[in-house]
Amino acid sequence: MAGGGIGPQIPPEVAARLGIRVQGGSDAIIGPTMPPAADNKEKEDSNSSSSSSSSSDEDEAVIGPAAGLAGCSQAQARQQTMGRIEAQMARGDEEETAAAAGSGRGEWMLVPPSSSNSRKGDALFDESWTQTPEQKQRRQAAAERSKEEQAETPAMRRSREEDEDKARWVDEFNRAHRPKSLMQMHQESVARSHHRKKSRAARGPADEWRQRRRAQNAALDTLGALGDKYAPGKSGSYL
């Protein structure tokens, strides 16, 4: 047994043929161990992770793929990235300009205006919101009169004033000299009849009896006058 290990050991010739390194001496591992290939892979993974963490700390401010930035400083990487972005923007502007030239449209059709008048101003208070129908009608009549006065000539104004004077004179004459209308006459008759009824009710039955007595006396006087007219003469009979 080689190496002074504990437990059964692989013979050296078999280990050499299989590619297994046999540890000996005081640093020999006791117990089950990983294969040598797994140990090498674990070391490579740890080395790559440490290198990637250090590179990520250095290139933290770089945006985009950094495959072509290996071996560059942070400032150089940033400058190269900005250069690529500016080149892309320039190509985009050139493509838009070429498309506009090919379509035949002017700049005013493609570029928005600096100021737009499409937005209305602040809403102001309108008197029509609170006007009654009578006020609205008076306002419209006043507006029509003002328009007529503005379009009226001096001759038309004199003719209108003469017509107004004639209408006023005719109205005054009718009130002073013309008879009353049928409606006015009927109203006055109804008022007189109502007044008579009230006066009779106020006088009472005694006054009514006096009036009847007076009417009877007047009738008797009339009959007496007739008797005197057809009575025989003082000298006797006619024969």
Q: Could you tell me the CA-to-CA distances from 26 to 15, 31, 100, 132, 192 in Å, in that order?
A: 19, 14, 83, 115, 155
Least confident interval from 5-9, 48-52, 55-59, 206-210 = 55-59
What domain count does the chain have? 1
85 pLDDT above the threshold of 70: yes
What does the pLDDT read at residue 1?
44
Q: Could you tell me the CA-to-CA distances from 95 to 90, 92, 100 in Å, in that order?
A: 9, 5, 9
3-state helix, strand, coil in the chain (%, to 5): 70, 0, 30
Structure tokens at 130: 């609170």
- 150 located within any domain: no
Look at 94 and 227; give whichever has higher pLDDT.
94
- 162 located within any domain: yes
- 10 located within any domain: no
- 188 located within any domain: yes
What does the pLDDT read at residue 120?
60
What is the average per-residue pLDDT within 80-88? 89
CA–CA distance, 139 with 135 (Å, rounded to integer): 6
What does the pLDDT read at residue 175?
78
Domain that holds residue 200: 157-205
What is the average per-residue pLDDT within 57-65? 53
Asked if 54 contacts 36 with a C-beta cutoff of 8 angstroms, the reply is no
- Give the global pTM: 0.19
Q: pLDDT tens, 140-174?
A: 888 888 877 777 778 888 888 999 999 999 888 88
What is the average per-residue pLDDT within 216-231? 74
Measured in whole angstroms, the distance separating CA 204 from the mean position of its chain's CA atoms is 77
Query: What number of CA atoms fall less than 13 Å from residue 135's CA on the CB side?
Result: 6
In the block, tokens 């250069």 appear at 83
- 215 located within any domain: no
Least confident interval from 23-27, 54-58, 127-131, 162-166 = 54-58
- 201 located within any domain: yes
